[in-house]
Structure 1
Amino acid sequence: MLNIVVQAAALSALSNVLAQLISNYQENKPLTSFDLKPIIIFVVYTILNTPINVLWQDWLEDAFPGAPTPPPIRPGDEKKPVQAPASNTRNLVIKWVLDQTVGAAVNIGMFIAGVGALKGQGKDQIVASLQNDMWPIFMAGTKLWPAVSVISFSVVPVDKRVIFGSVAGVVWGIYLSLAAK
């Protein structure tokens, strides 16, 4: 878990730095001018959020396995070729739907509330941000996350899914960093 959290935090910092580079370029500011506060906020949020996402991915896989459990090896079967179990399309679809609805809504809500709290916003500001920003962020996410989820659930091992998502999330993090200004 620690390794995943550290990697995700590093990717989060990278996405925020890239977002600041883009923003500085667009505003004709020096490219070397960085604001450390948003980088720290994103990294702290990622450190707090990543374990929750690891547990979510583990639960999805436990509840809806991607492949049927292979039968136990009986004595004498050790030398027979082992076929990879077929993927379970029904479970892949269920995981995808849950991840794109429940998972997305919870993650977006946690992001808006978490970053708002780390920025020192009060309850009223956070609630207003949830009301104003939740749907636009969700809709923006539909351009990236459905494809990432299909790839993740169909070919990425469960213990690598959060990091895979974090790598894809560098692009998403740039968007969120620019949106959270």
Structure 2
Amino acid sequence: MSFSKFWNSSAKKYPVFTMVITNGTLAATGNILAQSLSFFSDENKEKHKSFFEKFELSQTVRFFAYGMMFAPFSFKWFSYLDRRFPFRSISPSVKPKKNFAYWSVVGKRLSADQLLFSPLAAGAFIAVMGAMEKKSLQEIKERFNERYFKTLIGSYILWPAVQVINFSIIPLIYRVPFAGVASVIWNCFLSILNARHKENAFIAEELELLKG
């Protein structure tokens, strides 16, 4: 059995469990790639540091745990949006026409996602990562005040475009993994830019925010 068939079978039988493991793995993979790309910059090569000495396993574990915790909420949210703003078609077996009404539904899903879910997700990321780092409540509050709006603004650079694709052509069962893959690409993109443009304060801040 191929991996895709195995994953589809698992997702049909155990959708939430499959999303949890998949999203946790993708989040950890994104963090490992981001750390790797940041390490293999010219600056680190000159210092001749060992990657395994520099690598923060605890950071990757935190991302894996957060990815697993976030997946059920994300999946339930996507399911709710499908029910709240359904596509109209002749029958469930017939794909809806991509007309004005179709894109109107996509727009409603996107608006709800970006105006309601994204602000909550940004806050949850900061709070949960702080808690996993064993920060005090006061330290988490200070981090929240410092990073919340930066995190939210950073998310608005990528996620509207990702979610338009997600809500328009990606089946519900694949939406959480699709978003996870987009996160991996985003983390790697920021890491590459950071290696090439060390002076760019915005990129450096985005990478720092991704560490929690």
Q: Normalization by structure 2: what TM-score?
A: 0.74
Higher relative contact order (Cα pairs below 8 Å, separated by 6+ residues): 1
The residue aligned with 2:158 is 144
The residue aligned with 1:62 is 83
**How many residues were matched structurally?**
171
Question: Alpha-carbon deviations, 1:13-72, whole Å to 9, x = none?
Answer: 11111121123234513234322100111111111111011011111111011x215348
Conserved? CA contact 1:104–1:138, under 8 Å: yes
What are the ranges of 5 or more consecutive residues in structure 2 without an aligned counterpart?
A: 1-15, 191-205
Give the AA of the match of 2:97. Answer: A
The residue aligned with 2:34 is 19
2:171 corresponds to 1:157? yes
2:145 corresponds to 1:124? no
Conserved? CA contact 2:89–2:95, under 8 Å: no
What are the ranges of 5 or more consecutive residues in structure 1 without an aligned counterpart?
A: 73-81
Paired residue secondary structure (2:134): coil
Question: Alpha-carbon deviations, 1:132-151, whole Å to 9, x = none?
Answer: 11111111122211110110
The residue aligned with 1:76 is none
2:113 aligned residue (66, 88, 99): 99
Q: Matched residues in 1 for 2:61 and 2:160: separation? A: 28
Conserved? CA contact 1:45–1:114, under 8 Å: yes
Conserved? CA contact 1:105–1:138, under 8 Å: yes
Equivalent residues in 2 for 1:41-80 (5 A)? 41-65=62-86, 67-71=87-91
Q: Matched residues in 1 for 2:178 and 2:149: separation? A: 24
